[in-house]
Amino acid sequence: MTSGSEALVAGRCIAITGTNGKTTTTALVAHLLRAAGLRAEAVGNIGRPLAEAALQRDPYQWLVVEVSSFQLHDSPNFLPDIGVVTNLSADHLDRYPSVEAYYADKRLLFHDSNDHQFWVLNGDDQAVLNLARGCGAGTCGFRCAVRRTRGTKRRPVCLRLGGAELVRRGDLQLLGDHNVANALAAALAAHEAGVAPGVLAEGLRSFAALPHRLERVREVGGVLWINDSKATNVASTLVAVQAMDRPFVLLLGGRHKGEPYTPPGAAARGALPAGDRLWRGRPAD
């Protein structure tokens, strides 16, 4: 990992950005690397400062860095070995004059991109694909394809890496399609870092939801209480609502950030169409 031509740490770096899913994906990548016996640490916007890790005498083999748009804005020469973009949607419009300005800071992840870097991109998100256009490096994509059937609704069965099954969906301890996408993104990044599919599968099965992120708190009297207080924008609230598979009461609060609230309202009323889902990650050729 470099800033300009100066190396900051001896180890290599995986950077994760996007509007939502950054923290879960960052923690999951670090978890998968450690499952393979690698010295890895999650740093950056997730909590522990990158600068603190850079000062360690015993360098990590991999640093997994959660990077926000604000941090990219202030560090335009940040250059990871592997970069991940989870998704893009409107956010921070209380700070940015437009969605385009917000995306422009996200695009700084690709600044000075070269052939030695590798990118993991959300293949279902055209804004992500547009952001990475012309980055001049190797890429792979993950997809959550929707299959609709007339009059029936089949539950998803597995996550795949290329043509091979990684884990059954029921073995993943995370709620919602968005977390399946996060798991695929993390698996692809860790696979590019050298983690074998069997180890990826074990790591995916053992990873639990982080605090405040669709976290199962407790079930009392048949009522499951879920803490999703880190859903701080409309898009993350929407995917949380869509993750519910039984009747629910939605408790909301927070500060207005310039986005309309109609999408989660429509989802809560059941106005959004349902579909059968097959989740697939595709490694690089």
- So which residues are the catalytic ones? 22, 45, 92
Nearest CA to 280 out of 200, 167, 161, 175 is that of 161
Nearest CA to 122 out of 178, 45, 166, 172 is that of 178
Report the C-alpha gap between 200 and 242 in whole angstroms.
26
Contacts of 200 (CB under 8 A, 6+ apart): 32, 35, 161, 166, 187, 190, 191
Strands 62-66 and 40-44: parallel
